[in-house]
Structures are given as structure tokens and as C-alpha cells.
Structure 1
Amino acid sequence: MNASTDLDALTDFFDRYGAALTSGDLPAIASCYALPGLVVADTYSFSFNSPAAVALSFVGAAPDYQDRELVAAHARIEDVRPMSALLTMVAVEWEFLDSRGHAVPGERYSYLLRTTGEGPVICTVVRTA
């Protein structure tokens, strides 16, 4: 097994993750994370050690997407860097589609992914500029 740098596999992973985010599918979101996991931003950091903790950290995301009428998310992969035999750093800009079919700019994140037998999982998320 090697670090996932295959763009098709990474695109499939982020498509699944984006669909889970916009639909509020908390178990599917949690299944995209390695445990323990870490989220880092300019003013906060938090970690989680269970699928329930991952799900709890995303409870507010689905209503936010619904309030903004965002119905789909697409991860535009900007950079892929193998970090070790099983770790890959992936820079992503999220693009959203609203209920009227308009593109809505998103945010940028870097994801440290670990390759497992089931595919990539997120170890660390860093919100970037």
C-alpha cells in the first residue's frame, strides 16, 4: 500500500466527503476521518478521538449549508504531495453550488490523508488562506 496520489481516487474521496457535508450525513462525515483527528485554524484547534466526536463537531455545518442554500460541494484539488509511505498532503479549494445553480466560492484547506485498506482518511485539516 502506498500514499494515495491518484487524482481519480482523491477526487472520489473528496466527492464523497463533499456530498456528506452538504447533506449533513454525520456518519458518512465521520467515516472520512482517521482517529484521532485534528482540525487547525488561525484562532482555534480541536481534536477528536471517536466517530461521535467527529459527528458532533459537524452538527452545525449542515444547517449552515441549508441556510446558504448550498446543495453540492466540489473539491478542486490544487496540489498533491506525498509525505511518507502512507501520508499525502492535499491542498483543496472548495466550490459550492447553490439551489439556483450558481457557483459559490468556498474556502481553502490542506488535508493530511492517510492511505488505508479502505482508501484515504483525513488525519488533519488545516484551514488556509
Structure 2
Amino acid sequence: MTASTDLDMLTDFFDRYGVALTVGDIPAIAGCYALPGLVVADTYSFSFTSPAAVALSFVGAAPDYQERELVAAHAAIEDVQPVSALLTMVAVEWEFLDSQGCRVPGERYRYLLRGTDDGPVICTVLRTG
């Protein structure tokens, strides 16, 4: 078990996470997180210590994506920095595709990932733009 800086592994992880977000697969979203986990943005922060708490924090995301007619999410990995033997910081810009096939600008985040035997999991999400 080590920190992942392998772009193929990270791309696969964020592809699965993006699909789970757009289809509203709450158990799959929760499975992408280490517990406890933390989300930090300019005006709020919250933590979660159980899969149910992760689920509650994302339960509104899928209807929002559906309302905006977003059908796909792609994480463009901008930077990967090893932090320690098990931690990696990954800068991502999310790109969305709507039901008409048009690109919809997304937001930027930094994810602190922990390497596990099953692959990376998200420890902390930092919204950066």
C-alpha cells in the first residue's frame, strides 16, 4: 500500500467517482471516501465520520446534475503531488457534458487521497475555484 501518483490509477478512480456523482450512486460515492473525511470551501466546512454522513452530504448532488442536464463528469487532472508514503494531493478541474453534448465549465478542487489496499480514497476535499 503506497500513495498513488500513477495517472492511470488516479484517472480510473476519478472516472468512477464522476460516474457515481452524475448518476447519484450514493453508496459508490461514499465508498470513495476515507473516514473521517473533510470538505472545505470558502464559506463552509463539514466533516463526516460514517458512510451515512457522506450519503447525506451528497444526496442533493444528483438532482442538481439532472436539473442542469449534466450527463457526464470528467476530472481533468492538473497536478499530482506526493505528500507522504500514503498521501497524495491531486488538483482536478471537473469538466461536464450536458444532454446536448455541450461542454459545461466545472469547478476546481484539490483532493487529498490516501493509498489503501483497494486503491485511493478521499480524505479531504478543498474547493479551489
TM-score (normalizing by structure 1): 0.99
Amino acid at match of 1:10: L
Amino acid at match of 2:34: A
Q: Could you tell me which residue of structure 2 aligns to residue 94 of structure 1?
A: 94
Q: Could you tell me which residue of structure 2 aligns to residue 69 of structure 1?
A: 69
Amino acid at match of 1:6: D
Q: Could you tell me which residue of structure 2 aligns to residue 15 of structure 1?
A: 15
Q: Could you tell me which residue of structure 2 aligns to residue 27 of structure 1?
A: 27
Q: Which runs of 4+ in 1 moved over 6 A?
A: none
Q: Secondary structure in 2 aligned to 1:5?
A: coil
Q: Secondary structure in 1 aligned to 2:3?
A: coil
TM-score (normalizing by structure 2): 0.99
Q: Could you tell me which residue of structure 1 aligns to residue 124 of structure 2?
A: 124
**Gaps in structure 1 of 5+ consecutive residues:** none
Q: Secondary structure in 1 aligned to 2:9?
A: helix
Separation in structure 1 between the aligned mates of residue 41 and residue 2 of structure 2, nearest angstrom: 28
What's the CA shift for 1:2?
A: 1.7
What's the CA shift for 1:49?
A: 0.3
Q: Percent identity?
A: 84
What is the CA RMSD across the aligned residues, in angstroms? Answer: 0.4
> How many aligned positions are there?
129
Q: Could you tell me which residue of structure 2 aligns to residue 41 of structure 1?
A: 41
What's the CA shift for 1:29?
A: 0.2
Question: Do residues 59 (structure 1) and 38 (structure 2) align?
Answer: no
